[in-house]
């Protein structure tokens, strides 16, 4: 399967839907009574979700801050099957909040402040770029596309590069196979005042930018007018939209760029890739945009047990990182909590400033241990762990391994007990933890203590 690697800025998009029935008494403004809140990745994150929904193998190289928004984005992306490689982001993860009523946007609130350059890319992110079948740079002007290490890796890659530019971002890398600005962006980037028709402007400015960027081709997207492909030949290719597209256009540019990159990864000509991209973007808008293209995740619960759950863990992790602290995580079944567990947990907590326990769910334990386990259900096991003074938060996961939850927690240190010491096999999660520059360590078990022995002793009457 082709591997599509997407590089760019990710935002947390939040749609707040409600009803407007009155005007505020203290200001001439409508009052929105909140009814539902839906969250999804935006920017490069939306491109990654769209590509994953198409059935592609997708890796996302982005930047996330150590805050609750960053944790939520990681959770959503990993749950969708995206391989996530996150650069450290100073400040806050950007958020875009749309207040809506009756399908209409009343106000958009942006959070995150001015862009700040992200930190260095972890080596695993550069390895992902080297192994790409195609690379899509989804630039939203917040700094990821400027990262020198990432740019060098993109330029060195033999894979076709599709670059979706932003007026506040850097120029595309030289010899990009396809650059995909929209008509408004082309006017800003070229300084073209737009005299004449949209088609004339797209042709003139598109050729100008292709030569300036030294790109193989530039496809100017024109909304319901389709796209204009400016290549090395003297005559541009006009690709009309197959149908009149009316609807929510948010994310249509991402839909276009993803389809083009996927087509190039499969060996299509640039002209064929642009035709497929126009068709995909038109269908996306006609169907209702991101809301229809992506199955919305369940709304977040308004409350959660103290120190248990993804939201609680995200808050502890965000607070720790805000203080430049070290986040430690460990995992296991913890079916019968005993002194061996306690020794391991205390040793793990001493390695940093916050300890999150990744706890196997009941279904996960049954798959690992057999039909007779666990003896205690996941709710009781989580509450006992959360009651320990050395544990800051507990997250329950259903998979056989904790890789998904680790990918959104991104701990600085991942700790396991002594099964893998003394020259044994490498810890299964060790390679994953390297993706964000984390470290894997082993702490010894307390000799003679294990859940299996404890259960066996109880059953034998000893």
Rounded mean pLDDT of 245-274? 89
Residue 54 has pLDDT above 80, yes or no: yes
pLDDT computed for residue 85 by the predictor: 94
Helix (H, G, I), strand (E, B) or coil at 163: strand
Query: Which has more confidence, 427 or 21?
Result: 21
pLDDT computed for residue 126 by the predictor: 95
- Least confident stretch, 39-53, 95-109, 120-134, 237-251: 237-251
Q: CA–CA separation, 385 vs 369, rounded Å?
A: 20
Query: Which has more confidence, 197 or 321?
Result: 321
pLDDT computed for residue 458 by the predictor: 47
**pLDDT one-digit tens code per residue, 350-361:** 999 999 999 999
3-state SS of 169-217 is CCCCCCCCCEECCEHHHHHHHHCCCCCCCHHHHHHHHHHHHHHHHCCCC
- Report the sign of the C-alpha dihedral through residues 53, 54, 56, 58, in that order: negative
Residue 298 has pLDDT above 60, yes or no: no
Shortest CA distance to 60 belongs to which of 115, 111, 112, 124? 124
Mean pLDDT over each residue of the chain, to the nearest integer: 86
Residue 15 has pLDDT above 80, yes or no: yes
Confidence band of 301 (pLDDT split at 50, 70, 90): very low
Give the predicted TM-score (pTM) of the model: 0.72
Residue 155 has pLDDT above 90, yes or no: yes
Catalytic residues: 254
Rounded mean pLDDT of 429-436? 90
* Lookup result for tokens 């096999």: 425
Rounded mean pLDDT of 322-334? 90
Residue 294 has pLDDT above 70, yes or no: no
3-state percent breakdown (helix, strand, coil) of the chain, nearest 5: 35, 25, 40
Beta strands in 1-141 (DSSP E): 3-8, 10-23, 30-43, 57-64, 83-88, 95-101, 104-111, 134-138
Calculate what percentage of the chain has a pLDDT beyond 70: 88
pLDDT computed for residue 245 by the predictor: 56
pLDDT computed for residue 408 by the predictor: 86
Confidence band of 317 (pLDDT split at 50, 70, 90): confident
Confidence band of 339 (pLDDT split at 50, 70, 90): confident
Rounded mean pLDDT of 166-170? 94
With beta carbons less than 8 A apart as the criterion, state whether 80 and 69 touch. Answer: no
pLDDT computed for residue 195 by the predictor: 65
**pLDDT one-digit tens code per residue, 412-424:** 999 987 655 444 4
Helix (H, G, I), strand (E, B) or coil at 387: coil
Calculate what percentage of the chain has a pLDDT beyond 90: 54
Rounded mean pLDDT of 430-447? 83
Contacts of 120 (CB under 8 A, 6+ apart): 87, 147, 149
Rounded mean pLDDT of 183-201? 80
Q: How many CA atoms lie within 13 A of 365 on its CB side?
A: 22
pLDDT computed for residue 445 by the predictor: 63
pLDDT computed for residue 296 by the predictor: 43
Helix (H, G, I), strand (E, B) or coil at 390: coil
Rounded mean pLDDT of 455-461? 50
Q: CA–CA separation, 141 vs 118, rounded Å?
A: 12
Q: CA–CA separation, 146 vs 165, rounded Å?
A: 12
Residue 254 has pLDDT above 80, yes or no: yes
Complete domains list, the chain, with CATH? 3-24+31-293 (3.40.1190.20), 310-460 (3.40.50.620)
Query: Which has more confidence, 129 or 285?
Result: 129
């Amino acid at each position: 399967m082709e591997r599509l690697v997407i590089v760019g800025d990710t935002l947390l998009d939040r749609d707040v839907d409600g009803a407007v029935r009155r005007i505020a008494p203290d200001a001439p403004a409508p009052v929105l009574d909140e009814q539902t809140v839906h969250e999804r990745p935006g920017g490069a994150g939306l491109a990654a979700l769209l590509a994953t929904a198409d059935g592609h193998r997708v890796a996302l190289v982005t930047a996330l801050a150590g805050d609750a928004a960053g944790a939520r984005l990681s959770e959503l992306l990993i749950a969708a099957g995206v391989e996530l490689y996150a650069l450290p982001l100073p400040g806050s993860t950007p958020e875009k909040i749309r207040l809506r009523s009756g399908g209409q946007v009343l106000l958009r609130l942006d959070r995150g402040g001015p862009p700040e350059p992200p930190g260095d890319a972890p080596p695993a992110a550069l390895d992902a770029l080297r192994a790409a079948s195609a690379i899509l740079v989804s630039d939203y002007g917040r700094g990821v596309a400027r990262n020198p290490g990432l740019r060098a890796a993109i330029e060195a890659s033999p894979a076709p590069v599709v670059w979706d530019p932003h007026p506040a971002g850097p120029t595309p890398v030289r010899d990009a196979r396809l650059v995909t600005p929209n008509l408004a962006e082309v006017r800003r980037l070229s300084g073209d005042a737009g005299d004449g028709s949209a088609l004339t402007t797209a042709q003139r400015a598109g050729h100008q930018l292709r030569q300036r960027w030294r790109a193989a081709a530039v496809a100017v997207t024109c909304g319901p007018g389709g796209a204009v492909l400016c290549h090395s030949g003297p005559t541009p290719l006009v690709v009309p939209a197959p149908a009149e597209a009316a609807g929510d256009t948010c994310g249509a540019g991402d839909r276009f760029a993803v389809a083009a990159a996927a087509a190039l990864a499969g060996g299509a000509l640039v002209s064929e890739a642009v035709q497929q991209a126009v068709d995909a973007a038109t269908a996306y808008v006609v169907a209702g945009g991101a809301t229809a293209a992506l199955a919305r995740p369940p709304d977040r619960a308004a409350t959660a047990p103290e120190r248990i759950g993804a939201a609680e863990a995200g808050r502890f992790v965000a607070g720790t990182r805000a203080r430049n602290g070290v986040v430690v995580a460990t995992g296991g079944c913890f079916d019968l909590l005993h002194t061996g567990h306690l020794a391991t947990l205390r040793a793990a907590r001493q390695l940093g400033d916050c300890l999150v326990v990744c706890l196997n769910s009941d279904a996960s334990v049954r798959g690992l241990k057999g039909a007779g386990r666990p003896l205690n259900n996941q709710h009781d096991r989580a509450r006992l762990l959360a009651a320990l003074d050395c544990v800051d938060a507990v997250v329950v996961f259903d998979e056989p391994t904790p890789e998904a939850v680790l990918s959104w927690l991104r701990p600085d240190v991942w700790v396991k007990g002594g099964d893998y010491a003394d020259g044994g096999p490498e810890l299964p999660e060790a390679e994953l933890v390297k993706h964000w520059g984390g470290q894997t360590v082993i702490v010894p078990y307390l000799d003679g203590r294990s859940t299996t022995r404890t259960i066996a002793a109880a059953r034998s009457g000893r």
